[in-house]
Structure 1
Amino acid sequence: MTAVPAPLPPGSTIGILGGGQLGRMLSQAASRLGFDVVILDPEENSPAGRVSRGQIVAAYDDPTALSVFGRVCDVVTFEFENVPAASVELLAEAGALVAPGPTALAVAQDRIDEKTFLNAVGATTVAFAAVDRADDITANLDQVGLPCLLKTRRDGYDGKGQVWIRDAADVPEAWAAIGGRPAILEARAAFTRELSIIAARGRDGSVAVYPLGENHHAGGVLRTTHAPARVDAKTLKRAKAIATAVLEGLAYVGVVGIELFDLGNGKLLVNEIAPRVHNTGHWTQDGCVCDQFEQHIRAVAGWPLGPTTAHARVEMTNLLGDEIEQWSNLAARPDQRLHLYGKSEARPGRKMAHVNRVTSL
């Protein structure tokens, strides 16, 4: 049996692959716990780099940069799942302590592998089929049913890389729309709402689960999360079981976000998993004593997991593009907490900040 590494003491260095807003908020949480943080990101002066001890400016697959990064950091984690899994494997093979591990990253990066894993651990998904060419779509329409969703097998996020197929005649156009890339064909889920659950697993195997959030999207992008979501005991029990199965099935260390389709009567399907802190967990910053960012740092550093009970009700809203110009008015609201990401350019649809509106439970 492999020994569990000793908890990292304050003053240790945590490395984060990725310098965006999630890395920034992870770095801020780590600083509160007395850790130093080093970022590896190809963008100079990244949002996370500016609030950290230092940043290595290099590509995620730069072997020299990864070697230096692994040597200066006591543990390495990542802020988003599109970091090359091979880079995480290289760090682990060189002896760096990496959490979550490369297996979780690899599973989450491939939608076929992800859904195969989920069903294997009892976290049911919609029916699906692998697609390597346009003919595969047509051949699987009877199995999956219409309408169905065609998604690129890798890389897509925030509604990108996916298209609905409502008729067999749509197949050629849909295939062209995703660039003729390897894909997954997914059955439509007849769900009443989307829920998500944020959960964590420590190095000692302990599991902590936050209350569910209810999510609302526009244009494929998350706009709001209401938490704690109003759910019955049966639904909550099932969501916790799914989270535990995913965490234990991956021997996971850290925080994971799991998006769920609520079919009613306690029946849930898993849409996808994110092996990192998650946009739908931002509400925990102002609704819980220990938010998802501190929880992730605690887990990867080998500390005890923090409490997950909500002490307030929160409506989290993403600010996209030039909506950030509302910052002055939002900052003046006594019932709201504004979290800005420090990004220099407000491009249309780009996540620039979020605001948590806090009310009593």
Structure 2
Amino acid sequence: MTDHRIAAPLLPGATIGMVGGGQLGRMFALEARRMGYRLIVLDPGTDTPAAQFCDHHIRAPFEDLNACLELARRSDVVTLEWENADVSTLRAMGEHVQIHPSPDVLEVAQHRVREKDAARRLGVLTAEYRAVRSKEELEAALAEIGAPAILKTARMGYDGKGQATIRDAAEAGAAWEELSREGDDFILEARVPFWMEVSVICARSASGQTACFPVSENEHRRGILHLTVAPARVPDEIAEEARRVATALAEGLGVVGLLAVEMFVDADGRILMNEIAPRPHNSGHHTWEACGVSQFEQQLRAVCGLPLGDPALLRPAAMVNLMGEDAGTGLGRAGVARALEIPGTALHLYGKHEARAGRKMGHLTVLADSADEAARRARRAWERIAAGG
């Protein structure tokens, strides 16, 4: 493959190609415009959240080679907001333009077995797991790992989709019947009795400079992130270990851009990696208001070869997601005004025109003098929007 390594920083005025046009791309586009960059988005949708703020929208499927090559030819560098883009197509694009993160990183992040294999290879702890491709292999893996365990699709699947909990061996058959319709490549993971889920977003530049955002703690509803609080209310040694794990993975995988790492903290205080995402992450949305640099500006800095910004937390914060069932589109919703009465509250809506249950339509970030107070205010603000139609 041709080496298009950035020898000098890409300065304002350069064009950034973005694979994916969702809300992560939208927030990246806002930061790119603020800093004087141009943006071209590739996404099959119409009027997507990112396309509303880009200079040009190439409307085509992610695996459309001609469209991807057009994006490559028109861009000075390409990045992404969605890690499930077609790897072979991205490799073809890489003959024409530098892609950050690289297709090699995506190949690991797209497959749950490969990402856990990589973590183990880099000395990072994970839950016990086995690759599974048949009902017989599931039964054998369950005999080794024990129950309870979780059967997941090895590819795709997010926000709680593509997985089934197996509480005892008798449930293995039903779990296989439920998920086997979604493919033939799975992972069985031991269920971790964790004390807390935390995440760290680590930025890494092509020169090898790294910078971690403060550790966040996460709370889920129905398998979807509901609330993130920063800083995580954990002992300093646990926070330090979480940052070490994120840095080790970013360096070991050779990430250029961002790597979000979701981790469990078990009852003994051990850190176990759960999943990685080589892009901005929902648990980092609070960085826009709460840190010295947002995760989206940090992504831009990393992929353009600029010095990384200081990700220090300026004030404790909490972020709460606004789902379709909570807030509709957010437009014309009376509860918004009541939520914004709460001090330190900021509203972000994603420009999606159709609200559905389980669809992220926006988020609230709340700043306060302590993590506890930020979390309380965020819950109160969310309740006002959810209650006020």
Check if 1:128 corresponds to 2:107. no
Pairing partner for 1:328 from 311, 325, 337: 337
Give the superposition deviation at 1:3. 6.4
What's the CA shift string for 1:296-348, capped at 9, x where partnerless? 00000100000011011111000000422433333444420001100000111
CA contact (8 A) 1:234 1:266 kept: no
> Structure 2 matches for 1:90-239, cutoff 5 A?
90-92=92-94, 94-180=95-181, 181=183, 182-239=185-242
Q: Normalized against structure 1, the TM-score is what?
A: 0.97
Which ranges in structure 2 are unaligned for 5 or more consecutive residues?
Answer: 328-332, 371-389
Deviations 1:272-295 (A, max 9, x none): 001100000011111112010000
Counterparts of 1:193 and 1:65, CA distance in 2? 43
Q: Secondary structure at the match of 2:194?
A: coil
Does 2:348 match 1:339? yes
Q: 2:147 is aligned with what amino acid?
A: L
Q: Residue type of the partner of 1:22?
A: L
Other-structure match for 1:83: 85
Kindly indicate whether the alpha-carbon contact (under 8 Å) linking 1:259 and 1:273 is maintained by their aligned counterparts in 2: yes
Q: TM-score, normalised by structure 2?
A: 0.90
**What's the counterpart of residue 291 of structure 2?**
288
Q: Residues 63-78 of structure 1: matches in 2 within 5 Å?
A: 63-78=65-80
Match of 2:379 in 1: none
- 3-state DSSP of counterpart to 1:112: helix
Superposed CA RMSD in Å reads 1.5
| Bigger mean CA offset, 318-327 vs 99-108 | 318-327
Describe how 1:9-88 pairs up with structure 2 within 5 A. Answer: 9-88=11-90
Question: CA separation in 2, counterparts of 1:269 and 1:318?
Answer: 25
Deviations 1:140-175 (A, max 9, x none): 112211000000010100000000011211111101
Partners of 1:107 and 1:37 lie apart in 2 by: 27
Residue 180 of structure 2 aligns to a residue in which SS?
coil
Distance in 1, Cα, partners of 2:79 & 2:7 = 16
Uncovered stretches (5+) of structure 1, i.e. residues with no partner: none
Secondary structure at 2:346 match in 1? strand
Q: Give the Cα–Cα distance (whole angstroms) in 2 for the partners of residues 33 and 360 of structure 1.
A: 30
Q: Which amino acid aligns with 1:34?
A: G
Contact 2:217 2:228 in 1 (8 A): yes
* Aligned 8 A contact 2:293 2:311 in 1: yes
Cα distance per residue 1:229-257 (max 9 Å; x no partner): 12222112211211111111111101111
8 Å Cα contact 2:344-2:366 kept in structure 1? yes
AA paired with 1:267? R
Match of 2:366 in 1: 357
SS for the counterpart of 1:157 is coil
Q: 1: distance between equivalents of 2:140 and 2:132?
A: 10
